[in-house]
Amino acid sequence: MLKRKQLLPGLWAFILLSCGQQSETPKGTTEEETKLLIEFTNSMRGEIVTTAHQTDLKLTPTGSFELGEFRQPLETEIDILVDPSKQFQTLLGIGAALTDAAAETFYKLSEENQQRFLEAYYSQDKGIGYSLGRTIIHSCDFSSGSYTYIEEGDAELKTFSIDHDREYRIPFTKKAIEAAGGELTMYASPWSPPAFMKTNNNMLKGGKLKPEFYQPWANYYVKFIEAYEAEGIPIWGLTIQNEPMAVQRWESCIYTAEEERDFLKNYLGPTLEKAGMGDRKIIVWDHNRDLMFQRASVILNDPEAAKYVWGTGFHWYEDWKDGIPMFDNVANVNEVFPDKNLIFTEGCNEGYDPDKIEEVRLAERYGRSMINDFNNGVVAWTDWNILLDETGGPNHVGNLCFAPAHGDTQSGDLLLTNSYYYIGHFSKYIRPGAKRISSVSSANVVLSTAFVNLDGSVVIVAMNQGDEDKDYRVTLGNKTANLQIPAHGIQTLILRS
């Protein structure tokens, strides 16, 4: 007979490996194993970690709990129902962009705060355990100026050199990788081809890639990957173009859906394969949720383009229209193209104002987006600048923004904001390889998502968007726990057997 101790804590790993992407009890799980799963779940004990605005709670342990007798929830109560047998996507990682602005700010911190920064972001024990990173292919707005890796007019890329990045961004990225334990899933994004390759002869203010430079620009990605990997920075994947439908006053380039599709299937995909880089993950769109379904439909319905695509990337800035994020569009892409991945590639709070740095809305935007995006199928989530200075930059066109961490380049000090702690409620406790499991809240005021890690721990994140403390209940299997979450607070519940 199968012994309970033979399965714990390996039962979860067995179930995760058995079920793949399916949201049903894994094939091959016997009735006895299912009973043991229920027994395993019922024996779990939980720890509570809390962050709340206008309190001293910052990823603070705030108690423990046990699952007690089940009771039917009432309509007047807030109940989060968690079902570990219903499993979905596997988490790739959570992290942020290592931009020029972040790197330059980092080296203006005191040595003590440089170490504090690296530990705060990349240590799982003492920090929030980032496992994912985004980098830029030459300049973006969060650079001190526009630059490329070649001399203007060099279509053959004979002058290609990443020497510019060796001053700040490459050593900064190496330190991040080292702090993360020697491994960080890195992907890269371009904001604009060199000016001579574009219809407006300018890296800024939109323009399009001229057809005669499709192949040289595809070669440029290969050169970048080769150069960065020669520096000891593996490039896991890339996006084709940052925000391909936005004419920005900074580095930008426009592609219609058809143009991005054709560049991918006729140039970039084959060029990467020819260079022996066919295993690099290609991400399309890399723009807001509003038009992501249209972009995904055009590209992924073309078999010759779709074969090169790992997934669809998106940002959160579509709420400029009416203040309402379009989370359903993420779910729609996931529903229609379940064989492809979804990755959140960028989000930040715009309009930097130091007097507003701890406003509730900033951190809650992170929590709300992460919960909804994960529940809609996202496998990876990337913040924008991991660090900015006391002005919300540097940014060469004055597009100053908030970051979860700000460094004072005058004093060398480091500030970790509530946004940092909100992100940490996910990244610290939900680890790469975790499976999302079913988690449904009975009230709009308290949002939730849940995952099971490879070590068997169940992690539930709950966020209270309301102005009052809320009593709520968590039902897991056939057991229930009674809990309370502070007003404008976020909690992570970690359950272990």
Beta-bridge partners for 283: 239, 311
Per the residue annotation, which of 33, 260, 318, 346 is the catalytic one? 346
Per-residue CA distances from 461 to 318, 342, 440 (Å): 25, 20, 11
Are residues 221 and 268 in contact, defined by beta-carbon separation less than 8 angstroms?
Answer: yes
Strands 479-485, 68-69: pairing kind:
antiparallel
Cα distance from N-terminal residue to C-terminal residue, the chain:
21
CB atoms under 10 Å from CB of 284, counted, come to 30
3-state DSSP call for residue 127?
Answer: coil
Beta-bridge partners for 476: 82, 479
Q: How far apart are CA 368 and CA 460, in angstroms?
A: 14
Are residues 371 and 423 in contact, defined by beta-carbon separation less than 8 angstroms?
Answer: no
Among this protein's residues, is 364 annotated catalytic?
no
Are residues 306 and 300 in contact, defined by beta-carbon separation less than 8 angstroms?
Answer: yes
Joined tokens for residue 61: 């342990």
Residue with structure tokens 């057809």?
211
Q: How far apart are CA 336 and CA 306, in angstroms?
A: 13
Closest CA to 375 of 283, 459, 439, 452: 439
Query: Based on C-alpha coordinates, what's the Rg of the chain?
Result: 23
Are residues 67 and 131 in contact, defined by beta-carbon separation less than 8 angstroms?
Answer: no
Please list, in sequence order, all residues whose beta carbon lies within 8 angstroms of the beta carbon of residue 491, skipping any fewer than 6 positions away.
Answer: 48, 49, 50, 51, 62, 425, 461, 462, 463, 483, 485
The angle, 0 to 180 degrees and rounded to 10, between the axes of the packed helices 10-19 and 31-42 is 130
Are residues 279 and 301 in contact, defined by beta-carbon separation less than 8 angstroms?
Answer: no
User: Residue type at 407?
Assistant: G
Joined tokens for residue 497: 């057997």
Joined tokens for residue 4: 């309970």
User: Residue type at 488?
Assistant: H
Q: How far apart are CA 318 and CA 107, in angstroms?
A: 33
Per the residue annotation, which of 104, 243, 260, 318 is the catalytic one? 243
Q: How far apart are CA 203 and CA 318, in angstroms?
A: 24
Joined tokens for residue 271: 């060029």
Among this protein's residues, is 243 annotated catalytic?
yes
Active-site amino acid positions: 243, 346
